[in-house]
Amino acid sequence: MPLSIDIAGTERRSQCELRSLNITSTIMSNASQAQMTVHVPDRSWHPKAANVVIIATSSDGYTHFGGTISEVEEEMSGQTGLRYHVSMHDYTDLFDRVMVTTNYLTSGPTTSLAVDEIVAHITQNYTTGFSTGDIQTGLGTAAQQRYDYVYPSDAIRGLANQFQALFWIDSTKGIHFQSAGVDPAPISAIDLDSYTTSANWSDFRLREAASNIKNRIVLQGYKTKSTVSFQNIFTGNGTQQFFPLGYEASGVSTGDIQVTLNSATLTPMVDNVDGSPSTTAGSTSQIFICYVNLGARTDFAPTSTETLTLTYTYMQDSGFQSDDPAAQTEMAAREGGDGVHMYMINDPSLTNFQANDNLAIAQGQALTARYGKPLLQGEFDSFTQGWERGQYLTVSSTNRMGGFTKTMFVYQIDKKMINHPGTTGTPTWKYHVTVGESALPL
């Protein structure tokens, strides 16, 4: 069968209204969505929310959509039949069934802080049935990070922002994490001045907007590791096992904290995120650092002759300003003045357990790259097969928008079936393609 629509493990193409099928894949929200109408004249079954849906063609072995039903709306169809308007979302809900609770520090669960290893580790340890073959290697080293009950997609999306990378889940449960400009579009170049009937694109519309300019970003609300150490000294009393520090220790590695009991060195360990101050665990040679309770606990009570000393770097409030001088110069030339357009973000997720602001820097650079000045965007229709989000192509013109030649990136694909020649033919798809000159449509 050239086209199959599998709902909850059963082929249902004959009951689907094919002209109602629309599939949207976008890099802007890292998601794919689809809608269609299903007819059940005999009321023998009905699509249910959370059912898995797979839409594929056997003629080319391509899966056009894979995901779960997010919403079902039922109405009568004639006197006895039922009609269902089905909304579907990609596999993100299945990807996010288990939350991430781990620390990617210098002594974390991966062999290094390479970002591809962290993305793969999250996928392999907190999700089931998703593949990691499309995770690009060599993108760099990630900032140290702690995840206390964070959805896997949110954790990976934060890493994508840090590295100005693209992230999405494809229709076969493949995890894509890659830099922009990796995948070429099926049409490598479009010359807007040389349209012919064989160009395989039509109705190219351009737009440029200046309604949301941000080229000076002020980032606040997050914390970074201090560059100096703080020291707490406690004298035991034979009963106390929890010791309030007043600050959040930055970590438990040797470079972050040193703990002694008189002259003996204790080994710092990460406390369970749900542990209470009275919880006992470990041995007399260990001390547990409580990030939530801002303290430390032991499995024993130091006596009045014992002195507990903790010397550690701590998490402190931080802030950063990110400017794009080139964008500000461009805006000054267009509107006068200094061209500065400010925007403030209060984002605790930018907390970095290293002594720098690189998460905030990456976020600021990504925002100014996307919103620093008016950017050219466009949309067009195409019957060429193979369009996917994240691809790139060259678009040029000598007279439109004053003349330009730009590399543009595919932001979104809206895909609609316009012809299906029955059970033996291959369907025809029409693509509505949205492109823009920024590689990072946030």
Report the percentage of the chain scoring pLDDT > 70.
95
pLDDT at 158 over 50: yes
Higher-scoring residue by pLDDT: 292, 136:
136
What pLDDT was estimated at residue 107?
67
Mean pLDDT, residues 277-304 taken together: 82
C-alpha span between 323 and 90 (Å, rounded)? 36
Q: 110: alpha, beta or left, given left = phi > 0 and alpha = psi -120 to 50?
A: beta
- pLDDT, residue 275, reads 45
DSSP-assigned letter for residue 114: B
Q: Tell me which residue of 186, 190, 191, 135 sits closest to 163, measured CA to CA.
A: 135
Answer with the residue of higher pLDDT: 198 or 248.
248
pLDDT tens, 40-94?
998 889 999 999 999 998 877 889 999 999 999 999 887 778 999 999 999 999 9
Percent of the chain surpassing pLDDT 90: 68
pLDDT tier at 255, thresholds 50, 70, 90: confident
* Domain locations in the chain as residue ranges: 3-90, 96-178, 184-209+374-436
Mean pLDDT over residues 183-207, rounded? 89
| pLDDT score, position 378 | 96
84's tokens: 């269902």
pLDDT at 277 over 50: no
CATH hierarchy code of domain 3-90: 2.30.300.10
The predicted-structure confidence for 408-437, as pLDDT tens digits, reads as follows 999 999 999 887 766 666 788 899 999 999
pLDDT for the residue 198: 67
Amino acid identity at 131: S
Question: 37 pLDDT exceeds 60?
Answer: yes
DSSP state of 349: G
Tens of pLDDT, residues 360-413: 998 898 889 889 999 999 999 999 988 999 999 999 999 999 999 999 999 999
Give the integer Cα–Cα distance in Å for 354 and 286: 24
Chain mean pLDDT for the chain: 90
> Which residue intervals of 302-438 are DSSP H helices?
325-335, 358-371
DSSP-based three-state secondary structure for 93: helix
**Position 274 confidence tier, pLDDT thresholds 50, 70, 90:** very low
**Which pTM value belongs to this model?**
0.82
pLDDT at 273 (0 to 100):
47
pLDDT in tens, 323-339: 999 999 999 999 999 99
pLDDT for res 1: 56
pLDDT in tens, 102-130: 888 766 787 788 999 999 999 999 999 99
What is the model's pLDDT at position 381? 95
